[in-house]
A and B are shown apart, each in its own frame.
Chain A
Amino acid sequence: MTKLLEIRNLKVTFPTDDGDVKAVDGLDLTLNSGETVALVGESGSGKTVTSLSVLGLHNRNTTRLSGEILVHTQSGSVDVNSAPDEDVRALRGKEVSMIFQDPMSSLHPYYSISNQLSEAYRIHNDVSKQAAFNRSVEMLEIVGIPEPAKRAKEFPHQFSGGMRQRVMIAMALINNPRVLIADEPTTALDVTVQAQILLLLRNLQKEFNMGILLITHDLGVVAGVADQVNVMYAGKVVECGKVDEIYYQPAAPYTMGLLSSIPSVYGKGTGRLSAIQGQPPSLINLSNGCAFEPRCSLKTLVTNANCATDKPLLVEDSAGHFARCHLDLATRKIYGQKVAAKGIN
């Protein structure tokens, strides 16, 4: 296992007339080869903003970035936040690739599939058009598109959503990148197609020994494919650890809320779906205290601190398992096990 990507104290801020929007506020993350790290959270928690920063896709004029995003390549490390544009461009699509949430709108409607795939290949490799076309067909075959040589000449609108996402994956992997960022890769797809795409990603990961940064709000997807999980809330990681720890031993009240919000297909249930009360906070002028405090059902149990004003730190509960909460470990364990037990039944 080699380190491919290290994010250190990443802060992404969008200045607005009403104040600064702190979309990501001090994120640390490490991605190793062959490993899948998931970023989980509600809409607006900073997942996608994080993923866009890794490729340097934010508009520099409207975004303030700080911290380090180190991409380790075979020829050295590049800090996406401070490297010159040309160095970052050389990483894109070659060392770090990305697939996006909506395959329907992520492909250019005017160019054929082979044109778009070849373009991605030729920009990083000095090869002929024919060689790039052959490579495109080969990639389409790898991602499981039937009759790839014929379909390569077709246009995006002639493909279904699942097929388009396969094309996006083929395009992202055409240069054998070491890191793949998958931003909600299955959100826009049918459940049956979701499973196929996830299986495909996992097989390709094994084949190419990629590190995958998976961004999703779907805890079912996370349970299926992730090794490490980072739960984000209001721009901060509130819990991180191995996937089993997160599911069987959730340590942050927010994670517990997320897990108990998953509707169970089996079991009788009470006929009522449980949800976390309230709305995610506005990211402008966040208080110093715990961002989850207004919605937290366990805050009344906290005795050693004031959740509304005291800043909770990310503390290591057990080896490799961190949580950001004032509540004492023993109480959290009890509630965490309750939630996990309910989910398993």
Chain B
Amino acid sequence: MLKFIGRRTAYALLTLLLVSMATYIIFAILPFDPAALSCGKGCRPNLIEANRIRLGFDKPIWEQYWLFLSGIFVGRNYGMGDAAFSCPAPSFGYSFNENACVTDMLKQALPVTLSLAIGALIIWIIMGVGLGVLAAKMKNTPVDTGATIFVLVGTSLPVFVTGLIFLVFLTIKWNIIPLNLTGYVSIFSNPIQFLIYFILPWLTLAFNFSAIYTRFTRSAVLETASEDYIRTAVAKGLPAKIVLRKHTLRAALSPIVTMAGLDFASLLGGAILTETIYNLPGLGRMSLKAVYEFDLSVVVATTLFAAAIVIFMNLLVDILYAYLDPRVRIS
């Protein structure tokens, strides 16, 4: 197992290196001058040149890349004399649009996105898997039909429609959930405010995902229920409850671990639509803004971060899967 994790970690680091290289190459090819962009419109040429040197854009691309890489481990210093400033390690560069070290920006945005993703994950797993199992158990009954309608609606409505519907009805028309104007608060400082802040974004994200998970769970449970080893379990004399819980669900739900891990990873890269609708200062909005403003160090950092999350979740899912399925464990 240790050997497996070691090998996978080595692969992960290599992948991240390649991702960062690719981003840097795109960085170099793009027909934009980051030095000119950093100093705004109507900037004088000598100021642009000064900025270029201050931010390190005068150096060749491989040297910039090397500075970026070493910055992750030792931090980076910009400018000289009175104008000197530094981003301590781990430094992912400096955003000249926000006038902040990218690492600090990530640190601020990550808790928002993390809260959004974890909350939504919990809701959609409970709702999706629960409803899927129920629909499979009560196949061809009104409950099953209801679940099918939910799946249809949930998978066909995009997040920006459900998000706006929730906002209009739950908050503005019916006043069930108060409109939040205070901005992001941590769960540790004010849990109730935190819940109010996140409940709508959670529901919006979870609505779509739980529809997908309901459909997947229902068909997985029904398919597993017709397996030979389930018939064996019944023939042993096990009560239907144990057959479902111990035998059917164990086999049917294992693939959901893979699915949930990867969906969660992609959300951590930023749930751009949801964050935009509810004005959440998360990673998705941050990277979207950076793309619009050609804020390249932020783009590189968020890309790398998203890639790292996906790779890490893949590794985690594989390890979990080896734990869940004995057939994977040996080979």
- CB proximity to B under 8 Å, residues A196-240: none
Q: How far, in angstroms, from A171 to B232 measured CA to CA in the complex?
A: 10
B82 at the interface (CB under 8 A from A): no
Q: Is B250 a contact partner of A124 (Cβ separation < 8 A)? A: no
Q: B262 → chain A, closest Cβ, in Å?
A: 21
Main secondary structure of the interface of B (DSSP, over half): helix
Interface string of B200-233 (1 = CB under 8 A from A): 0000000000000000000000000001110111
B234 at the interface (CB under 8 A from A): yes
- CB proximity to A under 8 Å, residues B221-267: 227-229, 231-239, 242, 246-247, 250-251, 254
Q: Is B237 a contact partner of A105 (Cβ separation < 8 A)? A: no
Q: How far, in angstroms, from A107 to B251 measured CA to CA in the complex?
A: 12
In the complex where A157-B326, A157-B327, A158-B330 touch, is A108 in contact with B235 (Cβ < 8 A)?
Answer: no
Interface string of B75-107 (1 = CB under 8 A from A): 000000000000000000000000000000000
Number of A-B pairs, beta carbon distance below 8 Å: 71
B49 at the interface (CB under 8 A from A): no
Which residue of chain B has its CB nearest to the CB of A90?
B237
Q: A53 → chain B, closest Cβ, in Å?
A: 13
Partner of A120, one of B228, B236, B247, B325: B236
Partner of B326, one of A90, A97, A123, A155: A155
B324 at the interface (CB under 8 A from A): yes
Most buried by A among B232, B250, B330: B232
In the complex where A155-B326, A157-B326 touch, is A108 in contact with B237 (Cβ < 8 A)?
Answer: no
Q: Is B250 a contact partner of A110 (Cβ separation < 8 A)? A: yes
| Chain B residues within 8 Å of A322, by CB | none
Q: B247 → chain A, closest Cβ, in Å?
A: 6
Q: How far, in angstroms, from A139 to B229 measured CA to CA in the complex?
A: 20
A65 at the interface (CB under 8 A from B): no
| Chain B residues within 8 Å of A100, by CB | 228, 231-232
- CB proximity to B under 8 Å, residues A65-114: 89-94, 97-98, 100, 102, 105-112
A55 at the interface (CB under 8 A from B): yes
Q: How far, in angstroms, from A129 to B283 measured CA to CA in the complex?
A: 51
Q: Is B235 a contact partner of A105 (Cβ separation < 8 A)? A: no
Partner of B236, one of A93, A110, A112, A157: A93
Q: Is A106 a contact partner of B327 (Cβ separation < 8 A)? A: no
Partner of B327, one of A57, A109, A120: A109
Q: Is B229 a contact partner of A109 (Cβ separation < 8 A)? A: yes
Q: Is A108 a contact partner of B231 (Cβ separation < 8 A)? A: no
| Chain B residues within 8 Å of A155, by CB | 326-327
Which residue of chain B has its CB nearest to the CB of A154?
B326
Q: Is B232 a contact partner of A107 (Cβ separation < 8 A)? A: yes
Q: Is B327 a contact partner of A108 (Cβ separation < 8 A)? A: no
Most buried by A among B231, B235, B324, B325: B235
| Chain A residues within 8 Å of B326, by CB | 109-110, 112, 155, 157
A6 at the interface (CB under 8 A from B): no
- CB proximity to B under 8 Å, residues A9-33: none
Q: How far, in angstroms, from A305 to B225 measured CA to CA in the complex?
A: 48
Q: Is A91 a contact partner of B237 (Cβ separation < 8 A)? A: yes
Which residue of chain A has its CB nearest to the CB of B324?
A110
Most buried by B among A55, A93, A158: A93
Which residue of chain B has its CB nearest to the CB of A104?
B228
| Chain A residues within 8 Å of B242, by CB | 123
Q: Is A108 a contact partner of B229 (Cβ separation < 8 A)? A: yes
In the complex where A109-B327, A155-B327 touch, is A89 in contact with B229 (Cβ < 8 A)?
Answer: no
Interface residues of chain B, those whose CB is within 8 Å of chain A, are 227-229, 231-239, 242, 246-247, 250-251, 254, 324-327, 330
Can you name 18 extra interface pairs (CB under 8 A) apart from A108-B232, A110-B325?
A91-B237, A92-B235, A93-B235, A97-B235, A100-B231, A106-B228, A106-B231, A108-B233, A108-B251, A109-B251, A109-B327, A110-B250, A112-B326, A120-B236, A123-B242, A157-B326, A157-B327, A158-B330
Q: Report 30 cross-chain contacts, Cβ distance below 8 Å, ordered by A residue.
A: A57-B231, A57-B234, A57-B235, A89-B238, A91-B237, A92-B235, A92-B237, A93-B235, A94-B237, A102-B228, A105-B227, A105-B229, A106-B228, A106-B229, A106-B231, A107-B232, A108-B233, A109-B229, A109-B327, A110-B250, A110-B251, A110-B324, A110-B326, A112-B326, A119-B238, A155-B326, A157-B326, A157-B327, A157-B330, A171-B236
Interface residues of chain A, those whose CB is within 8 Å of chain B, are 55, 57, 89-94, 97-98, 100, 102, 105-112, 119-120, 123-124, 155, 157-158, 168, 171
